[in-house]
Amino acid sequence: MSLDHFFKPQSVAIVGASRKSGKVGYEILAGMLKAGFPGDIFPVNPTADEILGLKAYPNLKSIGQSPELVVIVVAAKHALDVMKECADVGAKCVIIVSSGFKESGPDGTNLEQSIVRVAKTAGIRIVGPNCIGVMVPGSKLNASFGGDLPAIGSIGYFSQSGSLLAAIVDMARETSLGFSKLVSIGNKADVDELAIIRALGEDDETKVIAGYLETIADGDAFIRQAERISRKKPILLMKAGVTEAGARAASSHTGRLAEVESAYECVFERAGVVRCESIKDQFDYARAFSYQPLPRGARVAVIANAGGAGIMATDAIEREGLELAQFTPETQERLANSEELSRAASISNPIDLLGDALSDRYEFAIRAVMEDANVDAVLVLLSPHAMTECVGTAESIVRVSNEDGNQKPILTCFLGASRVAEAVKILRMGKVPPYDSPESAVKTIKVMHRYAQWQSRPKRVVKLFNVNRRKVERIIERHLRMEQYEVGEMEAKEILEAYGFVTPQGGVATTPEQAVSIANRIGYPVVMKIWSPDILHKTDVGGVKTNVIGEQQVMDVFDLMMYRIPKKAPNANVLGICVEQMCTVGREVILGMNRDPRFGPLMMFGTGGKLVEVLEDVVFYPAPLTADEAMEMLVRTKTHEILKGTRGEEGVDISVIAEALQRLSQLVTEFPQIKELDINPFIVGREGTTPIAVDSMMTLEKR
């Protein structure tokens, strides 16, 4: 159901309107009147005849017509009765400002659920409860107690925190940032982040979607919804509460490394959502996305009237992975032979117009680089020298930026305070984003560039490999039937083999003689590992011995493990010793998966072996993976540089790692029973060699 009734209602009733200043019911009504809402306003208060010059009504029914939007401000214990009244009079939507619902405990949860049931039966949409309301500057609607309406703009904002939204509105007024809609979603009893993102994504008045979230209810739906909307317009989100790993007993390397922070980071990247670390960042990005076109590439031209500021910008450009644009010969000649520029000016990038540069010099240089095919974005810096025309320069920048046909973003940084204050206002009003430092401006260009890259990605195509699903089904079903949720190494390797992985040759021995026979068959050196479904981390109990050579050593290791390990793990069912060929050539990496309760399977890649949890050089990405996404996972790690080959060392076949990630992604997507999975180490050699899944562990979801 559309949320238009929240944004463009013809009439609003405020149940709990108060005659006393400072009360929420009074402030909401006063805010509606101050905003100049053109529709009908009905204060509802059983003990008042008139409030703020408007006739008051004892209840909704006495109004004599159906209010399109009802704002409920009464105590939580009366909210259910009011919702029933809303259903009786045919209200379309309701904002429940009141608190005391699920945030207060079980009784509040039950009350909230009862209200939602009544609303759903009547076809009523709810924003809240426990929120500050809704603001729509274009409709002159201020159904909130978040202060005065901000300016009209193209940014749609939603927040799970009402107090944060009120602060953002106040900050936006000081910086002339405008909004299309602002919604405080509170407890998200009905209208949640998915509904708001969908509504703002389809809203012609909204160019940029921004918000603050503490929880995401349906992770899979969020990815699909955000990915669809991000194709049309940017979504800028602050996400709080991501530093705690949560109360989860992770048994695998992947599970221990897959913290909440990692989950949100990779999910936002997959969905094209721009992650904002602070309100300042969010404002910086929102202003640029709202005002300026996206850059077509990473090449930045810098124009300044001081060498120091240009150097700061240059350093920031390199740090952020952008490029300092190389001007075409035509642009260089145009700058070098111009009468507008001083002969002493530096015409290479960054351009230094010198301290005596007036507005005309700035305008000439900006036009020159804007017309250069090698320039994707322009950053204009200004330091207020005695002769600097701050206001005039700002006006020139706005004029060039707003000319028809301009397809390149212009960002600015006017360093200083009081002397540039008026110029900064002109830039804001002219829709040219100003920044307080070169670094902030460059960071914003990087974010715009990355978003533009994301938008230009081809449609996702997930390759399906020819696998033996039936074999995996039998193994998993057998474990679940026996309530064995830890899959032993041998069975885990059988599952991997069914999906195209190669594992070391070997077998399980129950006697020293069998161990010797296996070792002689596969060749030395060998690795010997304890085989027990109850021991996931074999090295912790001394259950792994590498580089075993010769029959006598095989027998000695067998006897020693079978003697010592039952003492260290007395409750473990030790079935024997696994004897396998030892892989001695190649690089060790880790492939893994952790099934996040919100977002489903998160694939992991990184440095393998014993150092995985020490170095933590890992990256996560939601399954299923495309070939490009699998390769991108590799590139984003430091391990990638080592795998390519450094200082004369031969590199390994990176493509087989990407394929292995895709195969693993297919496995965990097709079998949601798998909770965690590690292949560590996964040994990969030079091109033409076969990668080996040396060791693996797997746990299943309990039924």
- Read off the pLDDT of each residue in 5-24 and give the average, rounded to a whole number: 96
Task: Give residue 36's pLDDT.
Answer: 97
Confidence of residue 618 (pLDDT cuts 50, 70, 90): confident
CATH superfamily of 469-581: ATP-grasp fold, A domain (3.30.1490.20)
Q: Are the C-beta atoms of 25 and 95 separated by less than 8 Å?
A: no
The DSSP code for 2 is -
- Read off the pLDDT of each residue in 174-197 and give the average, rounded to a whole number: 95
Task: Give residue 534's pLDDT.
Answer: 78
In the predicted model, is pLDDT for residue 616 greater than 90?
Answer: no
Distance from C-alpha of 511 to C-alpha of 505, rounded to nearest angstrom:
18
Report pTM. 0.89
Task: Give residue 398's pLDDT.
Answer: 97
User: CA-CA distances (angstroms) from residue 670 to 222, 301, 465, 702?
Assistant: 21, 49, 12, 17
Least-confidence region, from 136-150, 235-249, 622-636:
235-249
Confidence of residue 38 (pLDDT cuts 50, 70, 90): very high
Residues of the chain with CATH 3.30.470.20: 587-700
Residues of the chain with CATH 3.40.50.720: 4-215
543-565 tens-digit pLDDT = 889 999 999 999 999 999 999 98
Task: Give residue 648's pLDDT.
Answer: 64
Confidence of residue 338 (pLDDT cuts 50, 70, 90): confident
Task: Give residue 594's pLDDT.
Answer: 92
In the predicted model, is pLDDT for residue 246 greater than 60?
Answer: no
- Read off the pLDDT of each residue in 448-453 and give the average, rounded to a whole number: 97
Where are any strands of DSSP class E within 464-586? 486-487, 506-509, 526-531, 544-548, 576-581
Task: Give residue 611's pLDDT.
Answer: 57
Residues of the chain with CATH 3.30.1490.20: 469-581
Of the candidate CATH numbers 3.40.50.720, 3.90.79.10, 2.60.40.420, 3.40.50.150, the domain formed by 4-215 belongs to 3.40.50.720
In the predicted model, is pLDDT for residue 511 greater than 50?
Answer: yes
Q: Which has more pLDDT, 532 or 692?
A: 692
- Read off the pLDDT of each residue in 613-621 and give the average, rounded to a whole number: 76
* Topology of domain 587-700, CATH: D-amino Acid Aminotransferase; Chain A, domain 1 (3.30.470)
Distance from C-alpha of 643 to C-alpha of 695, rounded to nearest angstrom:
20
Task: Give residue 190's pLDDT.
Answer: 96
Separation of CA 374 from chain center: 31
Closest CA to 72 of 64, 62, 84: 84
319-331 tens-digit pLDDT = 999 999 999 999 9
Q: Which has more pLDDT, 242 or 571?
A: 571
Residues of the chain with CATH 3.40.50.261: 292-455
Distance from C-alpha of 337 to C-alpha of 428, rounded to nearest angstrom:
33
Distance from C-alpha of 636 to C-alpha of 402, rounded to nearest angstrom:
38
Closest CA to 519 of 584, 583, 580, 585: 580
Q: Specify the residue for token string 């998915």.
A: 194
Percentage of residues of the chain with pLDDT beyond 90: 78
- Read off the pLDDT of each residue in 56-82 and give the average, rounded to a whole number: 96
Confidence of residue 610 (pLDDT cuts 50, 70, 90): low
In the predicted model, is pLDDT for residue 14 greater than 90?
Answer: yes
How high is the mean pLDDT of the chain?
A: 92
Q: Residues 449, 450, 453, CA angle at the centre, nearest 5°?
A: 90
Confidence of residue 647 (pLDDT cuts 50, 70, 90): low
CATH 3.40.50.261 fits 292-455, yes or no: yes
462-472 tens-digit pLDDT = 999 999 999 99
Secondary structure (DSSP) of 448-462 = HHHHHHHHTSPPP--
Main-chain phi, psi angles of 249, to 5 degrees: -90, 95
44-63 tens-digit pLDDT = 999 999 999 999 999 999 99
Confidence of residue 255 (pLDDT cuts 50, 70, 90): very low
- For the record, the structure tokens of 577 come out as 């010793």
In the predicted model, is pLDDT for residue 250 greater than 60?
Answer: no
| Cβ contacts of 519 within 8 Å, gap of 6 or more | 526, 548, 551, 554, 579
Percentage of residues of the chain with pLDDT beyond 70: 96
